[in-house]
Amino acid sequence: MDNYKYKITHVGIHTVEALEPEKEELEKIGAEQVVFPTLTTENDMIESTRGSDGMIIMESDVTRAVMEASPECKVILRTGVGVDTIDIDSATDLGIAVINVPDVWIREVANHALALILACNRRLFLLDSKIRLGEWPRTIPSPVGSLHGEILGIIGFGQIGRELALRVKPLGLKILVSDPYVSDDILECYGVEKVALDDLLENSDYVSLHTPLTEETRYIINEKALKKMKPNSYVINTARGPVVDNEALAKALSENWIAGAGIDVFEQEPPKDNPLIKLDNIILTSHAAYYSDPALKALAIRCGQEVARVLTGNIPLHLVNKDVLAKLKLK
């Protein structure tokens, strides 16, 4: 750390070049950027991040032991929305600010969810596979809805859910929303109808998930929920993997309880021995809903700026554990 005031460890990368804007922001406050690929064990995290003043984490778990190996650490930034990989209570106890970045790729994720909805509606996964097998189907295998006049159910009406609603409205879908925390004013503004979760499941042609992963939302789509859905309906998940019980979804797809699914996130990533991979009535993507070249650059800049804010005594834009302010004096 010669000539550097702080050590910032970044764990999980796309390319080193993509992190250059982050490095430039950190160097403005005299911080060194140390980069590691995604680390999968606690011991690797401890040894790689030891002595950090701050951490920027893509998807690795940050436990209390990892934090205690860096007693000078003041900030941990998660490069996305979900913070379920970070021990928030321990961070607060140790005086470490936890930050997320919920607003950089809102549009990208909403676009990806819409793409999965359209792919399911047109059953592109089946047409693609049939052509690759030498077939030339002139019709689309049923069920095929009209899209206009159908119903989209959105579970979780935060920023991404709202962006998705804006995109599907012109396509003529009715939108149902299940979210106990959203106000009536917002629902009215977006022209959507708030219903109970069971009503949403029973009436929707497409069920799109946009919730964080909490104890409340874990397995919100389970076997019981899937049995409530219509046989011509689809599950779309661009949120967090464990909000959908993958085993239950595989069973529902295999036994034709529902028509199909579009899945970007999995319970375990990369998926290993996941039954969803073997099915032909599902379209799968690799936790890539967030991605665009402009968003990746914007994220790198934001990560550097947010960590710098904390290390220079300022409150970041998106502080997750606000109780930490009792120990970490920020202005």
Fold of 106-284: Rossmann fold (3.40.50)
Fold of 6-104+293-326: Rossmann fold (3.40.50)
Does 49 have pLDDT greater than 90? yes
210 catalytic per annotation: no
Question: What is the pLDDT, as a whole number, of residue 2?
Answer: 64
- % of the chain with per-residue pLDDT over 90: 95
- Report how far residue 24's alpha carbon sits from residue 185's, in angstroms, rounded to the nearest whole number: 41
Encode pLDDT of 180-227 as tens digits.
Answer: 999 999 999 999 999 999 999 999 999 999 999 999 999 999 999 999
Which phi and psi angles does 289 have, rounded to 5°?
-60, -30
Average pLDDT estimate for 234-251: 98
Question: What is the pLDDT, as a whole number, of residue 310?
Answer: 98
Average pLDDT estimate for 97-115: 96
Q: Where are the alpha helices (DSSP H) in the chain?
A: 20-27, 42-49, 64-68, 88-93, 106-121, 124-132, 159-168, 184-190, 197-203, 223-228, 246-254, 293-311
Q: By three-state DSSP, how is residue 273 classified?
A: coil
Under a CB-based contact definition with an 8 Å cutoff, are residues 216 and 84 in contact?
no
CATH 3.40.50.720 domain span(s) along the chain: 6-104+293-326, 106-284
Encode pLDDT of 135-187 as tens digits.
Answer: 999 999 889 999 999 999 999 999 999 999 999 999 999 999 999 999 999 99
Question: What is the pLDDT, as a whole number, of residue 219?
Answer: 98
- Peptide bond preceding 270 in cis form (omega within 30 of 0): yes
Q: Which of 287, 302, 306, 309 is catalytic?
A: 287
Question: What is the pLDDT, as a whole number, of residue 15?
Answer: 81
Residues in the chain, overall count: 331
240 catalytic per annotation: yes
Q: By three-state DSSP, how is residue 262 classified?
A: strand
Q: Which of 240, 302, 306, 309 is catalytic?
A: 240
Does 101 have pLDDT greater than 80? yes
Task: Provide the whole-model pTM.
Answer: 0.90
- Report how far residue 275's alpha carbon sits from residue 33's, in angstroms, rounded to the nearest whole number: 39
Question: What is the pLDDT, as a whole number, of residue 13?
Answer: 83
309 catalytic per annotation: no
Does 94 have pLDDT greater than 70? yes
